[in-house]
């Protein structure tokens, strides 16, 4: 597909400060989220939950794309409309998670490689038929004593680039997601260096494998201290470190950067995105592709009950609007009082 078409899809997803709802939790992950609210993870319950998110009125003003899971892209809304068609009719681009998860990397204790390249060309063709116009592949990198290893960084960059090249061949915009995890006690400087090394290797591989940078979206972590580090950073410090790292390593031709939330609280993820967008010197739109940080309150308001649907939709819309405001650098924390 010519670049301009992929570029137009990517640009439309992040236009007008819109972002992405990552609703692509695998069955295992959504089961963990449901366990936390004591809802049984059955296929009808998973469908009902995704239905409430996707039918939220007004979400299309602030959400430009939704990432679906293999089960979800085949499901239908209450009125019988396939989910991808429902989203597309609202002007929201349907996307699909195509990786098969991060698994132990042979010879590298504590590190992972993401599976899913085998048969990917065929799966992408089917997802295109089902309506997907963008895809997601997530690599995970842990920070620690001599981690991430050069080996882990390299093989994950190679896999991300192979995936991205196959997506573009299929007319699908690849979201390229190299996630430096925040679940240890590393410092913000450790995160900076791990993120910098990861992005450098990634863009080198994307170039080597002839991926058109104008037809991708990058989904990185913010540069942030590990959760267990007592020296937590202010949003201003996170913003400055994140933007510095991205400006050094991400070409200006990339049409958009959409952060993952990675375990930040809902409000933290909004405040930090806002702080980044209050800084000048950004060649790309900087928006969000949040999973947990868009859905935490909504899940709790829903509680698996039809009577909770309206409150859950309100909670989801509130967070999505806050994050769109943050993508424009105009989030006002006072709005949280009415949440």
The site for ligand 13P (CB under 6 A) is made up of: 22, 138, 177, 260-262, 289-293
Q: Would you say 65 or 76 has its CB closer to ligand 13P? A: 65
Minimum gap (Å) between residue 281 Cβ and ligand 13P: 25
Number of residue whose CB is nearest ligand 13P:
291
Minimum gap (Å) between residue 114 Cβ and ligand 13P: 10
Q: Copy the structure tokens of residue 144.
A: 């620690």
Minimum gap (Å) between residue 285 Cβ and ligand 13P: 18
Q: What is the DSSP letter of 104?
A: E
Q: What is the DSSP letter of 215?
A: G
Task: Quote the CA–CA distance of 303 and 49 in Å, as a whole number.
Answer: 10
Minimum gap (Å) between residue 292 Cβ and ligand 13P: 3
Q: Would you say 66 or 254 has its CB closer to ligand 13P? A: 66
Minimum gap (Å) between residue 263 Cβ and ligand 13P: 7
Tell me the helix, strand and coil percentages in the chain, rounded to 5: 50, 15, 35
Burial 284-296 (b: 16+ CB within 10 A, else e): bbbbbbbbbbbbb
Give the catalytic positions in this structure: 177, 219
Q: Would you say 125 or 268 has its CB closer to ligand 13P? A: 268
| Residue spans of alpha helices (H) in 27-147 | 27-36, 43-54, 70-73, 83-89, 120-129
Q: Closest by alpha carbon to 19, among 225, 328, 335?
A: 328
Q: Copy the structure tokens of residue 81.
A: 């409309």
Q: Would you say 221 or 277 has its CB closer to ligand 13P? A: 221
Task: Quote the CA–CA distance of 129 and 122 in Å, as a whole number.
Answer: 11
Q: Would you say 56 or 270 has its CB closer to ligand 13P? A: 270
Residues 6 or more apart whose CB falls under 8 angstroms from that of 205 comprise: 154, 157, 158, 160, 161
């Amino acid at each position: 597909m010519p670049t301009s078409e992929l570029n137009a899809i990517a640009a439309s997803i992040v236009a007008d400060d819109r972002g992405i709802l990552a609703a692509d939790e695998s069955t295992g992950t959504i089961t963990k989220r449901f366990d936390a609210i004591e809802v049984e993870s059955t296929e009808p319950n998973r469908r009902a939950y995704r239905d409430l998110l996707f039918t939220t009125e007004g979400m299309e003003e602030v959400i430009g794309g939704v990432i679906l899971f293999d089960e979800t892209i085949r499901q239908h809304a209450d009125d019988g409309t396939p989910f991808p068609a429902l989203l597309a009719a609202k002007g929201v681009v349907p996307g699909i998670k195509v990786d098969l998860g991060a698994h132990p990397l042979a010879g590298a204790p504590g590190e992972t490689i993401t599976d899913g390249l085998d048969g990917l060309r065929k799966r992408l063709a089917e997802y295109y038929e089902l309506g997907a116009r963008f895809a997601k592949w997530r690599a995970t990198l842990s920070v620690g004593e001599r981690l991430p290893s050069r080996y882990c960084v390299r093989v994950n960059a190679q896999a991300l680039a192979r995936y991205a090249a196959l997506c573009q061949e299929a007319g699908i915009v690849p979201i390229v997601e190299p996630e430096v995890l925040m679940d240890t006690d590393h410092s913000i400087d450790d995160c900076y260096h791990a993120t910098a090394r990861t992005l450098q290797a990634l863009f080198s591989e994307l170039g080597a494998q002839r991926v058109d940078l104008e037809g991708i979206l990058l989904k990185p972590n913010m540069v942030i201290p590990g959760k267990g580090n007592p020296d937590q950073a202010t949003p201003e410090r996170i913003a400055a470190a994140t933007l510095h790292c991205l400006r050094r390593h991400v070409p200006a031709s990339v049409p958009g950067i959409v952060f993952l939330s990675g375990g930040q609280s809902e409000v933290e993820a909004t405040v930090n995105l806002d702080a980044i967008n209050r800084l000048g010197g950004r060649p790309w739109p900087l928006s969000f592709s949040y999973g947990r940080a868009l859905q935490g309150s909504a899940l709790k308001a829903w509680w698996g009950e039809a009577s909770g649907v309206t409150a859950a939709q309100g909670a989801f819309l509130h967070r999505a609007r806050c994050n769109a405001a943050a993508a424009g650098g105009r989030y006002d924390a006072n709005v949280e009082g009415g949440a």
